[in-house]
Structure 1
Amino acid sequence: MNEYLVDIRNERLSFFTPAGEVKALNDVSLHVREGEVLGVVGESGSGKSVTSYSLMGLTAHPGRLIGGDLYFNGHHINKMTERELREIRGNEVSIIFQDPMTSLNPVYTIGNQIREVILLHTKKTKKEANERARELLQLVGINEPEKRLKQYPHELSGGMRQRVMIAIALACEPKLLIADEPTTALDVTIQAQIIELMINLKEKMGMSIILITHDLGVVAGMCDRIAVMYAGKVIESGTADEIFYQPSHEYTKGLLQSVPNINDREHKQLVPIEGLPVDMLNPPAGCPFAPRCRSCMKICLSTMPAYTKLSEEHYSACWLLDKAKFEGQSEVQHD
């Protein structure tokens, strides 16, 4: 029996394009326990969304899983047929997409779109589905639910549309909710409301959440553990406190240094991560972050480091942590 609700082991996934093979995921391993919130952090193109979509069997053409195993709630995902995957989508795992305006159908009312999910995945009658849709809008904090059910997406604000997306995702009370940058298109005040709503719903329903984001401020207040991804690899993973207060990978440190701190009285200048992201058509032989790393050593360019276990939950793939090989060498620089 698997102790994890989600267990992704050594996943490798590529997109076979006319220009060549884009190695989107290269040996990705992640796990999520029941009732846990995992934050997946990294810049655009790091493989965050691709990893989560593959868990639902939603890898877009010309993408293809070429290695590894994906387990969810007792299901071996990469051995399931499309029909079997449709059975768990919505019922056991749901997703909130980035932009609700492009996810909601503009020619159907909000009520139609919520009822459709309920009728598809449950045995409720139309009357029961309508009542459940009204309950869901109340649950996600939308006022005048009867009125909203009759409205179209363009008649709602951005924050309300995102709440509707959450209501649709929760329609069948899934065990896992994947939130793909759910606050990106919203202003800061509404962002805070959506995050608070998700935390409250998680406590009420006891579900697990995978939160995909590039906003470290969002994960700080919501996640139990954080996985940092770069160029299709998980380069560091640990509890939220370990990642924020004891970062060990140079990329993680760079992300934290580029975030403004309102409590910083010294008014330090923000330090950007210089250089450009890796070309995934021709990824480097060694550590993918090496070309942008200020502490890069010769071995970093040629060989990918193994994971160093720093605590029960905290591990990182960085040659600077390999004390046995580099002990006493002057070029090793620690912050």
Structure 2
Amino acid sequence: MNDYLVDIQNEKLSFFTPAGEVKALNDVSLFVREGEVLGIVGESGSGKSVTAYSLMGLIESPGRLIGGDLYFNGHHINEMKEREMRKIRGNEVSIIFQDPMTSLNPVFTVGNQIMEAILLHTGKNKKQAHERATELLQLVGINEPVKRLKQYPHELSGGMRQRVMIAMALACEPKLLIADEPTTALDVTIQAQILELLAELKTKFGMATILITHDLGVVAGICDRISVMYAGKIVESGTTDDIFYRPSHEYTKGLLLSVPNLNEDEHQKLMPIEGQPVDMLNPPLGCPFAPRCRSCMKICLKTMPEYTHLGGEHYSACWLLDKVKFENREEQL
């Protein structure tokens, strides 16, 4: 194991459904250092959330880890029992789920739900837990925190509910915060406020963060590194500058081209990625993006390319990047 806070090595995870095996993750490897922000981007169904949930031991039947190793803060997640996972969940690692509208329990007050984690993982009594919950609401920018603790989720706006979710996640000052689409269903002004809050909290607590999103604009200003996922594979990874200014995989380029650019001519058309996402019940033999790639070659359909090192921490899995390997494999086919 390396000196990383998170170290996922060659993870393979499938869902065994009546229709067949859905290969949700196929040989995924990534790492996160202490205090670092990693962005995982990709379209819906690419495996972003499954990767995060597997790290927290939240994958249930019919999902099953069938290969690879997952390490977090010295723990070998593969070998941990549910009883052991409960001790680190919410304590050493916390998650902000996708939808703040449905993530909070509607029949309990906000205070009750924040205090639950504090009482479970710390030695604080009820009075101390209430004081800590008040502190947390102040920390995430909620006004009149004492009043808010007595309210139910339906009495709060979407932005305030998301702030409550962040407060709950920070209750025990975790080493890792997983933010799964934290700006979903929020308007752009509130999105900007939530992202600014996450950046401030990262600086204040020095905690590592995994930010999961399909929106490249979300990761641009907050992430140190980015991993681009497609059909259960990481197709490219590198620093934020690598991904935005030196994209090398055709899927990454397609994502960037489909984002509006304020510097372009007002009549410039967006270039969507054509085609349909991969059927994960029957994934292609080669590069999963090949059927939608405008630069697709025969070898792309038959053989998955290895990662090409492009300097620093920049890696990409594309046949177009390694002419020597490509020519050698073409001779064998």
Cα distance in 2, alignment partners of residues 207 and 316 from structure 1 = 27
- 1:142 aligns to what? 142
Identity among equivalent positions (%) equals 83
Could you tell me which residue of structure 1 aligns to residue 119 of structure 2?
Answer: 119
How big is the shift at 1:326? 5.1
Distance 1:325 1:188 in 2: 45
> Partners of 1:98 and 1:324 in 2: how far apart?
43
Tell me the secondary structure at the aligned position of residue 118 of structure 2: helix
User: Partner letter of residue 112 of structure 2?
Assistant: N
Shift of 1:324: 1.5
Q: Is the 8 A contact 1:47 1:231 kept in 2?
A: yes
In 1, Cα distance between equivalents of 2:291 and 2:60:
30
Does residue 130 of the first structure (1) align with residue 130 of the second (2)? Answer: yes
Unpaired runs of 5+ residues, structure 1, are: 328-335
1:221-236 matches, cutoff 5 A: 221-236=221-236
> Do the aligned residues in 2 keep the contact of 1:2 with 1:74 (CA within 8 Å)?
no
**For 2:95, what is the secondary structure of its paired residue?**
strand
Counterpart code for 2:300: C
Gapped regions of structure 2 (runs ≥ 5): 328-333
Any idea what SS the aligned residue of 1:14 has? strand
Give yes or no for the alignment of 1:288 onto 2:300: no
Which AA in structure 2 matches 1:252?
A: T
Give the aligned residue type for 1:46: S
Task: Measure, in 2, the Cα distance between the counterparts of 1:267 and 1:22.
Answer: 41
Q: Distance in 2 between matches of 1:308 and 1:209?
A: 26
Deviations 1:95-136 (A, max 9, x none): 000111211000111011011111011110000000000000
**2:330 matched to which residue of 1?**
none
Residue type of the partner of 1:320? L
Name the counterpart of 2:323: 323
TM-align CA RMSD: 0.9
Q: Which residue of 2 aligns with 1:333?
A: none
> How far apart are 1:325 and its partner, in Å?
4.4
In the alignment, does 2:91 pair up with 1:91? Answer: yes
1:23 corresponds to: 23
C-alpha distance after superposition, 1:31-71 (max 9, x if no partner): 00000000000000000000000000001321000000000
Query: What do the CA deviations read for 1:66-108 (whole angstroms, capped 9, x no partner)?
Result: 0000000000000111111111001100000011121100011
Structure 1 pair 326/15, CA: closer, same or farther in 2 (3 Å)? closer
Secondary structure at 2:40 match in 1: strand
Counterpart-to-counterpart distance in 2, 1:116 and 1:6: 26
Q: TM-score, normalised by structure 1?
A: 0.96
CA contact (8 A) 1:39 1:212 kept: yes
Which residue is equivalent to 1:299? 299
Deviations 1:276-307 (A, max 9, x none): 00000000000000000000000000000000
Post-superposition Cα deviations, 1:244-294, rounded to whole Å, max 9, x if no partner, equal 000000000000000001122364210000000000000000000000000
